[in-house]
Structure 1
Amino acid sequence: MRHRPQWRRVACGAAMLFAAAALATALAWNSIFEAVYNSQLALSPSSRSYREWVAPDVPLYLEIYLFNWTNPDDFPHQKPILAEVGPYRFREYRRHVNVSVYPNNGTIAYRTQRTWQFDEDTSEASLQDNITILNVIAASAAFRSRDWGFLKQKGLSLALAMFGHGMSVSKLAGELLFDGYEDPLIDLANSLPPSALGGAPKVDRFGLFYGRNNSIDTDGYMEVTSGSSSEIPGQIVRWDGHSSLPFYAGECAKMTGSAGEFMPHNLTESEPLTIFMSDLCRTVYMDYQESGTLEGIPYHKYVMNEATFDNSSSTDRNSCFCNGECLWSGVMNVSACRYGSPSFLSLPHFLHGDPDLLDKVEGLAPDPDLHTFYFAVEPRLGIPLDVSARFQYNVYLEPMPNIALYANVPKMLFPIFWVQQKVQVESKVLGELRIVRGVMDWGGTVCACAALAFAAILTVTSCCSSHCKKKDEIEKEKDEAELKLNPNNRS
């Protein structure tokens, strides 16, 4: 009697095992990939992601455009005529410092240090340019005095006249930006108690970016998810010790979303991209605009549009951001988180803003191609591919009868400057991303094909075994019949 070869049983068992394993992997591929990918992204001191996050080597540039006021002597009888000058281009170096890891709750806390160096070769303007802008110091002092009594306001009016403050100030671009300039009103402010300054730190000079270079305090103390507990890293948890924003109430006080460096995965066209921005002291909801590809990598593009800084005329979502009266749509009042200064932010050239904003000035020309704030993000992995962060800083003016300098000014927002930080992923990183996308997109298919291949091997092996078994049975029956016919042949 013949026996089935042992190798057939082993082959069948192995094929069945591999087929089951490949099928299970194919069905769970997305979950497996997500778990492995998240483990690589986690902000732990031993991970590659952490090292690249602490000191990013992606080239960063800050571009600043100043609005030169060409007719200050004719104001307020004539509209301000503004001429955009720039860009003043600065190379930015960024590091995360004072990092503390909290494994118990899966968070990581840090401060961000930024250093800017003027790039003379690529800038289209010089720091020696003479620029005229609105006198921000005087405008801020007048804004703070809105709730003062008659005598205090008159005292401020006399101080402005005594110190020679006018409606405008002309300085070198370098002084207006990072270097700063001295002003006797600053010395007077430093002699006042902190409560009179709205808690603002005392400074010895004034500049639009004075004190920010090399500072670790500008962005505040951030605490975000580390990604060690399967959640996405870089999602805001606390800011400067607050788990909710002290400047707003209700829904507007909530802090949620990405801190700007790690985006959610599996982004859709129907959900907004949610980002917490410390410069705005709030969470921003960016809406989907379109999809495209960058060197073969697909992306979803999310933008700040008409609804982002809406004054609640079209949606109630932004009403709690008003901090008082909502005057214009398309701008955000950030005075509450700027020590009570008359600061409003908008998109450059009042893009998507109330038409009245443009009616009050001349020289602005909003262009969506030049002034849109957008994030282009690879949707499955949440990798930012192309980012243009753009904001315009404006100072609020209103008539103040008891302060001579501002007695007849119109109620308006006066543009001072706008900034752009544009970052695009390098080709080398895009090459690595294509490999990761290939593994993610085709890994499940490859495993399914492997399962089919092993199933085929199992089928062939089983058929072969059945055929051999049947052949053995036929030969056995033949042998038995032969023995019956020829009993003498029996051994």
Structure 2
Amino acid sequence: MRGRTPRWRCVFAVVCALLAAAGIAISLTWGRVFDSVVARQVALVPGSRSFREWEAPSVPLFMDVYLFNWTNSENFPQEKPHLVQLGPYRFKEHRQHVNVTWHVNNGSMAYRTLRSWHFQPSSNGSLDDNVTMLNIIAASAIYRARDWGFLEQKMLSMSLAMFGQHMVVSKPARELLFEGYEDALLDVAKTLPASATGGAPPVDRFGLFYERNNSITTDGYMEVSTGVDSGTLPGQVLRWNYEDYLPYYTGECAKNRYDSRFLREMFLYATLRRSSIKGWNGKTRTYLLKGSAGEFLPRDLTERSAVTVFVPDLCRSIQLTHKLSGELGGLPYHRYSVAPESFDNSTSSHHNTCFCNGDCSWGGVMNVSACRYGSPSFISLPHFLHADPALAAAVSGLQPDEDKHSFYFSVEPNLGVPLEVAARFQLNVLIEPNPNIALYEKVPKMLFPIFWVEQSVQTEASIIEELVYARTILEWGATVCACTALLLLVLVALATCCVPRHKYARPADGAIISEKPKDEAEIKLNNL
């Protein structure tokens, strides 16, 4: 029939139209489609790539330890301590998550972390280096006795003298770090009740990292979300050491949970994404402790976002805020550094008051004595960066530097993948005068720097290439789908509108043309 579209054109047009509609729908919802795919890829489920990389990380991990050598201890307290930084003593860390238990009913998993450290020849120093530092064992004993009566303190003073305790100890670096050294006070501590030792387990040796190598107790028992449930992220801490709160603190600090403002923002985010958020309005579970374990971070981060990480060594979470943006291997990132208020002594951040545990004399430090068996332990950034100037003024030899001593995560913002991590902390021990204990009768009240550590991770180039590819798909996926849909619509128009018309050719000479037979009346009329 003249002008009729062939059947194959109709089928072709219908198929193209359906594909174009699908392309338009995907382009309009590309963000949600991509998020759904990524969520399935990063969820911690048995056998997934994400789980395999998490279970035994292939990314090289290093720990650099810097020890402070006290060079003028014989003149203390007449002279302020002069400290010389030694190191770094570099250790390569092997980490593996073990004893994994799955809790399918609430979308979580529990595990412990096995860590081992191996000394590296590239270190700036030898483990045989002799280092002089504050006698931490004596300092801890005197700190615990600060509330004792007069007679008990005098007995401790005589015991310290009898067992040859001094203000300082001088030991090889290997003994100060992992191997430990023997001390008579440790034997005495075994005979004392738990109330006198702060509940510290009896040990035969003392070292800054003693009994940590090849141990699964360092980070404790962790329970985190798997990210399987809609609206949840993997790696968010639910319980630590079987508790959904922090027993070392009181009030809101013990809860250590996200506040209502954060949950409202998360609920709004989930609503825009057309997904549910666990724990909202009490209908389902919420993240019981604040922050992730560090391996998994939220996606779609902006310069206004804050990253929260739970740090077992600090027995609490810390918040990181945006510091700067840059590019690594062609991949853009946001760098989030430890917020100054995380180390604040409550003078400007009232919510930190319950972390003080009684002593918040200086800003820029964390009092972690409660989770260190009552030892006078305070954490700061290295060289007292961003801390009260009085802390650095009490000693000489410190040179705080933002580039060398800050704590930060460099994160690809859209995917929430850490590209570079520099976790830096400094351990300081509180000393203060005690008129009843001869060893500390004339000492000033100060925080004495002992060492600082940097745990660094940098993503390998091959993984960065994969992330660049994934980011390209995220940024251009909607555009490609829309262009494909437009091309298909053009093909539909060509298939349905541009139908060729059938033309009749003039008959060639000699061709026989059939005509309609004429009747008799028409023949007679023509003859006339």
The answer to whether the superposition gives a TM-score over 0.5 is yes
The Cα shift of 1:104 comes to: 1.1
Q: What residue number does 2:376 align with?
A: 342
2:5 is the counterpart of 1:9: no
What is the alpha-carbon distance in structure 1 between the residues aligned to residue 358 and residue 27 of structure 2?
Answer: 56
Q: What residue number does 1:169 align with?
A: 169
Aligned pairs, how many? 474
Given that 2:369 and 2:377 are in contact with CA atoms closer than 8 Å, whether structure 1 keeps it comes out as yes
- Structure 1: runs of 5+ lacking an equivalent: 476-485
Structure 1 residues 267-416: aligned runs within 5 Å = 267-416=301-450
What is the alpha-carbon distance in structure 1 between the residues aligned to residue 27 and residue 59 of structure 2?
Answer: 36
Q: What residue number does 1:480 align with?
A: none
What letter corresponds to residue 304 of structure 2 in structure 1?
S
Q: What residue number does 2:212 align with?
A: 212
Structure 1 residues 84-233: aligned runs within 5 Å = 84-119=85-120, 121-230=121-230, 231-233=232-234
User: 1:489/1:381 Cα in 2 relative to 1: closer, same or farther (>3 Å)?
Assistant: farther
Look up the SS of the partner of 1:209 in the other structure.
coil
Given that 1:16 and 1:455 are in contact with CA atoms closer than 8 Å, whether structure 2 keeps it comes out as yes
2:462 is the counterpart of 1:428: yes
Look up the SS of the partner of 2:314 in the other structure.
coil
The Cα shift of 1:7 comes to: 1.6
What letter corresponds to residue 264 of structure 1 in structure 2?
P
Look up the SS of the partner of 1:308 in the other structure.
helix
Given that 1:258 and 1:264 are in contact with CA atoms closer than 8 Å, whether structure 2 keeps it comes out as no
Look up the SS of the partner of 1:101 in the other structure.
strand
What is the alpha-carbon distance in structure 2 between the residues aligned to residue 488 and residue 67 of structure 1?
Answer: 122
What letter corresponds to residue 205 of structure 2 in structure 1?
R
Instruction: Summarize deviations over 1:334-360 as a string: whole Å, max 9, x none.
Output: 001111110000000000000110111
Q: What residue number does 2:485 align with?
A: 451
What letter corresponds to residue 379 of structure 2 in structure 1?
L
Instruction: Summarize deviations over 1:79-112 as a string: whole Å, max 9, x none.
Output: 0111001011111111101111111111011000
Q: What residue number does 2:61 align with?
A: 60
Look up the SS of the partner of 1:358 in the other structure.
helix
What letter corresponds to residue 436 of structure 2 in structure 1?
N
What is the alpha-carbon distance in structure 2 between the residues aligned to residue 383 and residue 12 of structure 1?
Answer: 43
Given that 1:311 and 1:319 are in contact with CA atoms closer than 8 Å, whether structure 2 keeps it comes out as yes
Say what the alpha-carbon RMSD is for the aligned residues.
1.6
What is the alpha-carbon distance in structure 1 between the residues aligned to residue 147 and residue 391 of structure 2?
Answer: 25
What is the alpha-carbon distance in structure 2 between the residues aligned to residue 97 and residue 315 of structure 1?
Answer: 38
What is the alpha-carbon distance in structure 2 between the residues aligned to residue 293 and residue 308 of structure 1?
Answer: 27
Look up the SS of the partner of 2:86 in the other structure.
strand
Given that 1:19 and 1:455 are in contact with CA atoms closer than 8 Å, whether structure 2 keeps it comes out as yes
What letter corresponds to residue 165 of structure 2 in structure 1?
H
What is the alpha-carbon distance in structure 2 between the residues aligned to residue 240 and residue 489 of structure 1?
Answer: 110
Instruction: Summarize deviations over 1:260-310 as a string: whole Å, max 9, x none.
Output: 111111111112111111111111111101111001001000001422201
Look up the SS of the partner of 1:248 in the other structure.
coil
- Structure 2: runs of 5+ lacking an equivalent: 257-288, 505-514, 520-528
What is the alpha-carbon distance in structure 2 between the residues aligned to residue 173 and residue 130 of structure 1?
Answer: 6
Q: What residue number does 1:237 align with?
A: 238
What is the alpha-carbon distance in structure 1 between the residues aligned to residue 236 and residue 351 of structure 2?
Answer: 21
Q: What residue number does 2:83 align with?
A: 82
The Cα shift of 1:201 comes to: 1.2
What is the alpha-carbon distance in structure 2 between the residues aligned to residue 112 and residue 354 of structure 1?
Answer: 35
2:65 is the counterpart of 1:31: no
Instruction: Summarize deviations over 1:393-434 as a string: whole Å, max 9, x none.
Output: 000011111111111111100000000111111111111111
Given that 1:305 and 1:352 are in contact with CA atoms closer than 8 Å, whether structure 2 keeps it comes out as no
What letter corresponds to residue 131 of structure 1 in structure 2?
V
TM-score normalised to structure 2 length: 0.87
What is the alpha-carbon distance in structure 2 between the residues aligned to residue 180 and residue 357 of structure 1?
Answer: 28
Given that 2:134 and 2:167 are in contact with CA atoms closer than 8 Å, whether structure 1 keeps it comes out as yes
What is the alpha-carbon distance in structure 2 between the residues aligned to residue 193 and residue 252 of structure 1?
Answer: 29
What is the alpha-carbon distance in structure 2 between the residues aligned to residue 375 and residue 405 of structure 1?
Answer: 42
What is the alpha-carbon distance in structure 1 between the residues aligned to residue 342 and residue 453 of structure 2?
Answer: 18
The Cα shift of 1:314 comes to: 2.0
The Cα shift of 1:487 comes to: 6.3
The Cα shift of 1:489 comes to: 9.0
What letter corresponds to residue 215 of structure 1 in structure 2?
S
The Cα shift of 1:461 comes to: 2.1
TM-score normalised to structure 1 length: 0.94
